[in-house]
Amino acid sequence: MTVLLVMAVAIVFLFGAGRVYSGFLARRLGEDASRATPAVLKEDGRDFVPTPTPVVFAHHFASIAGAGPIIGPVIAIIYGWLPALIWVLFGGVFIGAVHDYLATYMATREGGTSVATVVRRTIGKDAFIAITIFLVVILALVCAAFLNASAKALTSMLPFARLGLPADQTVFRVEGDNVIIGGIASMSVVCITAVAPLIGYLYIKKQVSVWACSVLAVLVCAASITVGVFFPIALHPTAWKLLLSGYVLIAAGVPVWIFLQSRDFINVHILYVGMVLLLVMLVTAGFRGADVTELGAGAEAISAVSISEGAKAIGPFWPGVFIVIACGAVSGFHSLCAGGTTCKQLNNERACRQIGYYGMILESFLAVCVIGVLMIGAVKVDYLSDVHPKLLGLASSPNWVLGFAMAVGNTARLAFGVSPAVGALAGMVLLEGFLVTTLDTAIRLTRYLIEEIWRTLFGRYDVFAEPVARAETAEWGKGEDTPAGAGGIPVAVETADQEPAPPRPVATAGVLRGVLTVMRLYWVNSAIAVGLMLAFALTGGQTALWKIFGTSNQLLAAMVLSVASLWLLRQGRSFWFALVPAVLMMVTTVTNLFLMLRTFLKTPGENATLLAADVVILLITAYLLVAGIRQACRLVAARRADAPAAG
């Protein structure tokens, strides 16, 4: 009954404590549902599109969830299920959800701008350039890690004997002694992507109700899986990487409703149904007597393998478990979604909490479900063979996707008595849905950031000096800018920390004008983003890539929480609920960066790309810390100086 107790405690804590704490935060922030949002005031039909909250929640959740809350627990369960569970619960409520809510709220209050632009307005221009470069590197790492995992999922094969299928089965395609289980998910991805523009046309252009579109989306999901069963696609992993790169290149440039919103809206139904099925499987298996046993990643695996074997497979318990379980407890990537696409679609300010805070809570709940599935469904030897093969002396590369799929398959067998192949297929489709939806969002966000870099560096030239909409409203104040998107690239409002813009733009001609014009094309910036993703994906080792992705991802969360503290301090509001988790995550992630640096330096030739990324991240972190502390001292001094005057 252990798994039932785990699920009950997790549900009560996540949604009970989350509701109370989010309400506390809303009161401290001054949330106001009557304030006009950037999507309403700056609607452009491409990036700024007022959208019903359920649709934006679907897009946001599908984008932030990715593979992190699944793959992270799969890797980290070797430390033990209880440490993983505690980190997910407390991290989700008091760090991750706070981070997501603050990031969404700040981006919305600042006119739909990215976290980089918020940094510029809070700290200054130099800090803006530093963190933007940092964000581009992080997004490239995120995309590379998920691209590799996605290609692995779409091409996964399982030994026939492990699936418990009859010899004469015809449902799954068999090649030698292996079942090509990934091909079904591959076809599902293709079908959903092809139908996505139609769904977007219906709910955005024709204003068809969300519920009607949801019914159609469910039918599309079911049909895509059915087609995949009969017509699975089998390609080489490299071919899938290139095909997915081509798709995200297109998706990053076209209007959001064509692929980004609509594909996420369809696919999120698989994610919702998948989470419900995971919960039902766990509850049913628990009532049927399944529990943490010696056959699973349970009593023996966790007590005998946990800390010592976890250290061998991943590294020291601290900061290891806090890094590997990235998105399930806290994720800096979420702030990029919040300040990139999400804040440009909200139709009221209350949606910041509904989408930001509760999106993270739902993701933590997904991570809890994954931990539960691994507790009772992951056979120890198979788990180690799939996820940590080096511990068994195997030369094969880790297949985290396979480890999760088989745990789901075994849990389905314990719950319903079906073949493990059925549950494994469901797990594979669920995970692949999370992976691809993150890729197209992340590449679009990288495009936004690259556009902001060009605007900052070359904004004095006439090519970039297009008319800027100025909203003289209480939300943003005079002199605000048009956030990044197809219709304009942001110029942060001038502050004392920034140089004033020139009164007239510098005229350009010839080659310079041509180059600057090309740099404004969003297809070009999307191509740069895709190129960076492929560079890391094709050169970084799978495990090493995930570690540096997880570390930089958590480090970004620490930075955003630190910026939020400064932002709140500047407004004279309480900020301890942002500062405390910021310090905790900063110490944890910087420690892990130094540990990885020591590892990379042992074999610099094999890890040249990741070594360079590690050094760049450390240097930028050091600079931003100094700049942030100096700005905090100035703000505190200013408040003290104003206090006697106010008295």
Report which of 273, 274, 271, 290 is spatially closest to residue 4, judged by C-alpha positions.
290
Residue 364's pLDDT is what?
95
User: Virtual CA dihedral for 436, 439, 440, 445, nearest 10 degrees?
Assistant: 160
Return mean pLDDT, the chain: 81
Residue 47's pLDDT is what?
74
pLDDT classification of 496: cutoffs 50, 70, 90:
very low
Residue 643's pLDDT is what?
64
Which amino acid would we find at residue 439? L
* 353-362 pLDDT tens trace: 999 999 999 9
Q: Apex CA 352: angle with CA 348 and CA 356, to 5°?
A: 150
Q: Which residues pair with 485 in a beta bridge?
A: 488
218, two tokens: 């469910």
Could you please report the per-residue DSSP string of 163-184?
GT--TT--SS-EETTEE--HHH
**Residue 623 clears pLDDT 80, i.e. is over it:** yes
DSSP assignment, residue 461?
A: B
Lowest mean pLDDT among 19-23, 144-148, 403-407, 620-624: 144-148
**Residue 216 clears pLDDT 80, i.e. is over it:** yes
Residue 280's pLDDT is what?
93
* 291-350 pLDDT tens trace: 665 444 443 444 344 566 777 878 888 888 899 887 889 999 899 888 877 898 898 999
Q: What is the largest CA-CA distance in the chain?
A: 86
Residue 353's pLDDT is what?
94
Distance between CA atoms of residues 418 and 500, nearest Å: 68
Q: Are 559 and 79 in contact (CB under 8 A)?
A: no
Residue 489's pLDDT is what?
29
Residue 578's pLDDT is what?
95
Report which of 69, 203, 210, 249 is spatially closest to residue 149, judged by C-alpha positions.
69
Q: Which residues pair with 158 in a beta bridge?
A: 179
Residue 451's pLDDT is what?
84
Query: With pLDDT > 70 as the criterion, what percentage of the chain qualifies?
Result: 87
Residue 479's pLDDT is what?
34
Q: What is the mean pLDDT of residues 382-394?
A: 85
Query: With pLDDT > 90 as the criterion, what percentage of the chain qualifies?
Result: 22
58, two tokens: 């679907």
**Residue 231 clears pLDDT 60, i.e. is over it:** yes
Q: What is the mean pLDDT of residues 571-585?
A: 93
**Residue 20 clears pLDDT 50, i.e. is over it:** yes
Return the top range by mean pLDDT from 265-274, 536-545, 614-623. Answer: 614-623
* 469-493 pLDDT tens trace: 333 233 333 333 333 322 222 333 3
Residue 491's pLDDT is what?
33
Q: What is the mean pLDDT of residues 379-402?
A: 83
**Residue 494 clears pLDDT 60, i.e. is over it:** no
Residue 485's pLDDT is what?
29
Q: What is the mean pLDDT of residues 433-438?
A: 71
Return the HEC string of 525-571. Answer: HHHHHHHHHHHHHHHCCHHHHHHHHHHHHHHHHHHHHHHHHHHHHHC
Burial of 161 (0-12, 13-18, 19+ CB in 10 A): exposed
**Angle 97-109/576-602 helices, nearest 10 degrees?**
110
Lowest mean pLDDT among 15-29, 64-78, 611-625: 64-78
Structure-model confidence comparison of residues 21 and 129, the more confident one: 21
Residue 483's pLDDT is what?
31
* 77-136 pLDDT tens trace: 888 888 889 999 999 999 999 999 999 999 999 888 878 888 888 888 888 888 888 888
Q: Are 306 and 78 in contact (CB under 8 A)?
A: yes
Residue 571's pLDDT is what?
85
Distance between CA atoms of residues 629 and 634, nearest Å: 9
Is the CA virtual torsion 509, 512, 514, 518 positive or negative?
negative
Q: Which residues pair with 559 in a beta bridge?
A: none
Q: What is the mean pLDDT of residues 231-240?
A: 79
pLDDT classification of 468: cutoffs 50, 70, 90:
very low
Distance between CA atoms of residues 32 and 200, nearest Å: 29
* 152-179 pLDDT tens trace: 777 777 777 777 677 777 667 777 777 7
pTM over 0.95: no
Residue 355's pLDDT is what?
95
Report which of 273, 278, 592 is spatially closest to residue 410, judged by C-alpha positions.
278
Residue 99's pLDDT is what?
96
Residue with tokens 């007022």: 50
146, two tokens: 């998920």
Please name each of the domains of the chain with its CATH number: 2-458+523-641 (1.20.1740.10)
Q: How far apart are the first and last CA of the chain?
A: 62
Number of H helices, E strands in the chain: 27, 3
Distance between CA atoms of residues 354 and 334, nearest Å: 14
Q: What is the mean pLDDT of residues 540-568?
A: 87
Structure-model confidence comparison of residues 570 and 271, the more confident one: 570
